[in-house]
Amino acid sequence: MRNPTHQPSALPARALACCLLALTLLAVGAGSTPALAAEAQARFTPTAHTDTAAIVETAIAKAAPPSATDASKAEASPFILDRRQILSPDTRDRLERTATQLARTHGVGVYLLTVGGIGSKTVRDFAIDQYHSLNLGVGAERSGILFLIAADSRDYVTITYGKGITAFTDYQLERIENEVVNHLRSDNWNDAAEAYVSQCARTLEFYAEKGEPLDRGNAPIEPVDVMAMAAMALAAGAVVAGLAIAGMARSMRSARTGQEARAYLDSDSFSLTHSDDQFVTTTLAVIPHPKSDSSSSGGGSSIGSGGFGGTTGGKF
């Protein structure tokens, strides 16, 4: 009687390979091609000596999505981090799309983080810790700007990092915060978020177009500022005209009885026929004016501890 030699069955390996092949093609999805399908079938067709572990490893490698190093950081990280859930879903989604596009175009992440409170830390230290712990930033320099809203403790701050320090000057950060905080004081969370992202987009577009950051010396006049200046000019003109009319009216009531004889003299009764001025000496004084120092103009960006720019924040 013959003793059959035990041969490992290829059936389990074949079944496993078929399942993994199906999963791989599903993972590839709409982007699969006939060539890719043929390659996958060739790799996953088992033999009697097929290494099941190798099949699993190959299938996982084929089906796995790109790693974080291969994928764009701009698409991997959310930019609107509404932890406190004070924004409407529509506002959050719309601003997320805008911030994603800004990161792709300019290489700077525009982040908005909402929390309840900041604990015992300063609002700036809390924001810096969050920037590191959430691994925020775009590109190798982790460039970005983060506006933090602590809704319960009423704290806010703006920090910048990498290319964000250059793009957002101290002058422009002050302007952004002034507009955003005006909305925060009334708990208009959506309007505040809209204003922040809109101003960041305007700042980055100015930098890309002009080749220099928006600062005190090159900031365009806002339409609101023009209207305000026109109103102030009209008001000043009205005040000057009123004072002139009032002066003329007072001069009409200035006639009084003269107390001295000279008040009744005719000014045309005396005429000077000759005058001669002789200059004995001349003195010339030269006072030099100090040259203005461009570094003291208040422009540019300040960098604090940890290499972060931005503001010290405050309460709203």
**What confidence tens digit (pLDDT) does each residue in 224-238 have?**
555 555 666 676 676
Residues of the chain with pLDDT under 50: 1-2, 4-11, 15-16, 19-21, 23-74, 292-296
pTM passes above 0.85: no
Domain match, 119 and 152 both: yes
Domain match, 44 and 158 both: no
DSSP code of residue 303:
B
Q: Which helix (H) or strand (E) holds 145?
A: strand 144-150
Domain match, 311 and 163 both: yes
Domain match, 53 and 153 both: no
In a domain, 268, yes or no: no
| The three-state (H, E, C) secondary structure of 216-282, written as one string | CCCCCCCHHHHHHHHHHHHHHHHHHHHHHHHHHHHHCCCCCCCCCHHHHCCHHHCCCCCCCCCCCCC
Residue 211 is predicted with a pLDDT of 94
Residue type, 272: L
Residue 206 is predicted with a pLDDT of 97
Residue 270 is predicted with a pLDDT of 65
Domain match, 145 and 55 both: no
Positive or negative: CA dihedral 207, 211, 214, 218: negative
In a domain, 266, yes or no: no
Would you say how long the chain is, in residues? 316
Domain match, 21 and 157 both: no
Q: Which of 45, 63, 81 lies at the terminal end of a domain, its last residue?
A: 63
In a domain, 227, yes or no: no
Domain match, 132 and 185 both: yes
Task: For residues 124 and 15, give the distance between their C-alpha atoms in angstroms, rounded to a whole number.
Answer: 58
Number of separate domains in the chain = 2
Domain match, 43 and 154 both: no
- Among 166, 149, 145, 165, CA closest to 157: 149
The answer to whether the CB of 123 falls within 8 A of the CB of 155 is: yes
In a domain, 274, yes or no: no
Residue 133 is predicted with a pLDDT of 96
Residue 189 is predicted with a pLDDT of 98
H helical segments located in the chain: 11-28, 34-44, 52-63, 73-76, 89-106, 123-133, 163-167, 170-184, 189-210, 223-251
- Indicate which CATH number applies to the domain containing 158: 3.10.310.50
Domain match, 18 and 134 both: no
List the domain range (segments joined by +) for residue 208. Answer: 73-219+304-315
Domain match, 118 and 53 both: no
Domain match, 81 and 101 both: yes
Q: Taking each helix axis from N to C terminus, what angle separates 170-184 and 189-210, rounded to the nearest 10 degrees?
A: 160
Please provide residue 58's backbone torsions phi and psi, each rounded to the nearest 5 degrees: -65, -40
In a domain, 120, yes or no: yes
pLDDT tens by residue, 118-158: 999 999 999 999 999 999 999 999 999 999 999 999 999 99
Which CA distances in Å does 101 have to 66, 87, 92, 109, 225? 20, 20, 14, 10, 30
Domain match, 47 and 103 both: no
Task: For residues 180 and 191, give the distance between their C-alpha atoms in angstroms, rounded to a whole number.
Answer: 8
Residue 205 is predicted with a pLDDT of 97
